[in-house]
Structure 1
Amino acid sequence: MRVRFSRGVITIAIIVVVLAVGVSFGLYHLLKRATPLAVPEAYCTVRGPEGTLDLSPHQAQISATIAAVAARRKLPERAVVIAYATAIQESKLANINYGDRDSVGVFQQRPSQGWGTRKQLMDPVYATNKFFAALVKVKNYRKLPLAEAAQAVQRSAGGYAYAPHETDGKILAAGFTGRVPQAVHCWYPPDKTPVPQPKADQARKQLAKALGSTAITTKKRGWLVAAWSVAHAEKYALNRVGYGGATWVNNVELEGWQTGGKSGTTEVDLS
């Protein structure tokens, strides 16, 4: 037995289907435009010839500070790699206020062993300067295996533990020294920053503490300053850093630096 539908029933059915499709299409685009419920945490990434390394903004800030202090002291990249491997092992690149016995800070230096006061060692710039001052006294440190050079400074119970971090140290050094352009990328949720407005002047002042003069004399130095600025973007509410014809923007949908901006190499733009 064949069931026949009246023309009116068919018309109603067509209208229902069209409306359903329209509502579904509208909901799809509405949800697509809606702000995601799960906002990712702030993060940083360093990319270089040796690979890619993910960091927290705090770790990136410590890394940038170490590179800036090394540049001020005119040290080779090998010294920076040794410092990074040491800091990764000792504190995971964090400025911690505790450790074995009276050890504190990024390099877990001990006030009782003459490294400085607890307050001084909690200053990453001071602590890094003390580390490098000891490292350059190690004979042929540039040619020594990394673990031996680091152990000569730290005199740790397990000096062998520094060696596994050498590759990560090379990744960080390539990016934060400025040798590899556009290597450092960070992102942070803008509405979570404690600073309401960009603080470019404060950023430059803090950079000068580690780097000395902030003048851009070479492209490598310019990219060091740019990397330092991106790493500190959350701390100083920076939304854009421009250098060498490329621009970093604090946009979760963008990965890495974008082409565009001032092409000059004598100034890093912060805003």
Structure 2
Amino acid sequence: MRRPFSRDVIAIIAIVTVLAVAITAGVFALINWIGRKSLAGEGCRITTPDGTLDLEIEQAQVAAAIAGVAHRRKLPERAVVIAYATGIQESKLYNLPFGDRDSVGVFQQRPSQGWGKPEQLIDPVYASGKFFAALVKVKDYRKIPLHEAAQEVQRSADGSLYAQHEENAKVLAGAFTGRVPHAVHCWFPPEGGEETPAPSPAPGEAERELARTLGSGTTLAASSRRRGWLIATWSLAHAQKYGLSTIRYDDRVWNVAEGEEGGWQPDAEASADRVRIS
């Protein structure tokens, strides 16, 4: 005759079952969420002397926001590399609205640990500002190993994992900070379908968001070539969101109609003192 399970055993089985269901649900939620973000016929390619990477447009927007905030704070490229490696490990550079426990956003920052409110932390500009504010307090963050600097900020379970993303982070940093000219190319259908209609061109809204990121009123002015390419790259990453079809800078033009095979083409109308978007 079998002995019935004790109440403690039943309770343990119930807890394990609930945890298993929760973990499975979380994994499926992440897969489905990323799957909805992966649309055919659109994407971004980053090409620098350090390598080539493919991103989804949302990832490029997050990367552009991080670089823009670092530029506003006058931080070195090393800070951007650390931020990218952290973001890749924590969220694959997606602006996740969920995470472990109450973690949200690209850096999976937790409101319960004082990073900010959930609605603030899913704003890449705000989240990047909080990350950099903590990073600059890390002693010798420019010189110590990347994973040590990142771990001082994040306090994660295994800080060594950040190190594996350093090379990819360097590729992204060279491109999105503007150090490597015309290193980012994004493409998407110039006209939306019934489910995803093309947004009306909104260069004014793009400029306002860029000003919020850079903390500058004259956002499209290029006081240096590096700043100019940072602005042009930010504009390209956000072209789909704001319905931009052309971006001109530094004798180059990007045109949405050229698609994946296009990229930055020579252009006699593009000047080196200002980025032009339309």
Tell me what 2:213 maps to. 210
Letter matched to residue 166 of structure 2: E
Unaligned runs of 5+ in 2: 1-38
* Paired residues of 1:243 and 1:261 also in contact (CA < 8 A): no
- What is the deviation of 1:199? 1.1
Counterpart contact for 1:245–1:262, Cα < 8 Å: yes
- 1:95-126 deviation digits (Å, cap 9, x = unpaired): 11111111100100000101011111111111
Q: How does 1:1-271 map to 2 (within 5 A)?
A: 40-192=40-192, 194-213=197-216, 214=219, 215-250=221-256, 251-252=258-259, 254-271=261-278
How far off its partner does 1:127 sit? Answer: 0.4
Unaligned runs of 5+ in 1: 1-38
Alpha-carbon displacement from aligned partner over 1:215-245 (angstroms, at most 9, x marks no partner): 3211100000000011111111111111000
User: Is the contact made by 2:205 and 2:242 (CA closer than 8 Å) also made in structure 1?
Assistant: yes
Q: Distance in 1 between matches of 2:96 and 2:260?
A: 32
Amino acid at match of 1:225: I
Q: How high is the sequence identity, in percent, across the aligned residues?
A: 60
SS of 1:68's equivalent in the other structure is helix
Query: CA offsets, 1:14-35, max 9 Å, x none?
Result: xxxxxxxxxxxxxxxxxxxxxx
TM-score (norm 1): 0.83
Give the Cα–Cα distance (whole angstroms) in 1 for the partners of residues 242 and 273 of structure 2: 22
Greater Rg over alpha carbons, structure? 1
What amino acid is aligned across from residue 277 of structure 2 in structure 1?
L
Alignment partner, residue 5 of structure 1: none
Equivalent-residue separation in structure 1 for 2:203 and 2:106 (angstroms)? 25
Contact 2:248–2:271 (CA under 8 A) maintained in structure 1: no
**What SS class does the counterpart of residue 252 from structure 1 fall into?**
helix
In structure 1, distance between residues paired with 2:236 and 2:197 = 17
- Aligned residue type for 1:110: R
Is the 8 Å Cα contact of residues 57 and 231 (structure 1) preserved in structure 2? yes
Query: What SS is found at the alignment partner of 1:139?
Result: coil
Aligned to 1:8: none
How far apart are the structure 1 equivalents of 2:246 and 2:58?
Answer: 19
Shift of 1:263: 4.3
The whole-number CA distance in structure 1 between the counterparts of 2:104 and 2:272 is 38
CA distance, structure 1, for counterparts of residue 174 and residue 53 of structure 2? 12
1:29 aligns to what?
A: none
Partner secondary structure for residue 265 of structure 1: coil
Match of 1:27 in 2: none
Shift of 1:255: 3.3
Question: Secondary structure of 1:256's partner?
Answer: coil
Amino acid at match of 1:190: P
CA apart distance, 1:41: 2.0
Cα pair 1:195 1:236 within 8 Å, conserved: no
- Aligned CA-pair RMSD: 1.3
